[in-house]
């Protein structure tokens, strides 16, 4: 299954519209993503990301709703298991998108987080 996962845009680097990139937090896991498809995105926005590309800008409520839908259908647990391992709390038990709390991908957690 392919899906775009929302995350909070923490910082932006570059002025070139094609190579513009940003650091995005997915419940504490921070990844660098290409922002070419979302020239309107600014720091603090929530963006949906698929295979390293931000595809759209969503508000915080919509980002949180996506995680809730994924929890309801059991997909979030499967995504977390694939990306962080069966014993990791992953996204579902973090304090929400952009929480900044230690978790998978945070060097302090001892887990490498998802591989992009």
Chain segment 12-23, per-residue pLDDT in tens: 999 999 999 999
Alpha carbon 88 to its chain's center: 16
Given a cut of 70, is residue 8 above it in pLDDT? yes
- When pLDDT is averaged across residues 82-101 and rounded to a whole number, the result is 48
Phi and psi torsions of 4, nearest 5°: -95, 130
Domains and CATH numbers, the chain: 5-60 (2.30.30.140)
Q: How far apart are CA 11 and CA 8, in angstroms?
A: 9
The pTM (predicted TM-score) of the whole model is: 0.62
- When pLDDT is averaged across residues 66-89 and rounded to a whole number, the result is 66
CA-angle at 20, arms to 14 and 22, nearest 5°? 90
Per-residue confidence (pLDDT) for residue 23, from 0 to 100: 98
Per-residue confidence (pLDDT) for residue 28, from 0 to 100: 80
C-alpha distances out from residue 103 to 2, 37, 41, 57, 99, Å = 23, 28, 25, 24, 10
Average pLDDT, the chain: 76
User: Which is more confident, 99 or 54?
Assistant: 54
Per-residue confidence (pLDDT) for residue 74, from 0 to 100: 76
């Amino acid at each position: 299954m392919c899906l775009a996962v929302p995350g909070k845009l923490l910082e932006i680097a570059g002025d070139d519209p094609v190579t513009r990139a940003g650091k995005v937090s997915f419940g504490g896991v921070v990844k660098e993503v290409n922002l070419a498809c979302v020239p309107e995105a600014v720091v603090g926005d929530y963006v949906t990301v698929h295979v390293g590309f931000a595809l759209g800008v969503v508000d915080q409520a919509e980002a949180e709703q996506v995680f809730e839908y994924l929890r309801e259908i059991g997909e979030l647990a499967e995504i977390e298991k694939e990306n962080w391992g069966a014993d990791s709390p992953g996204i579902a038990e973090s304090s929400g998108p952009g929480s900044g709390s230690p978790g998978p991908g945070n060097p302090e957690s001892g887990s490498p987080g998802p591989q992009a």
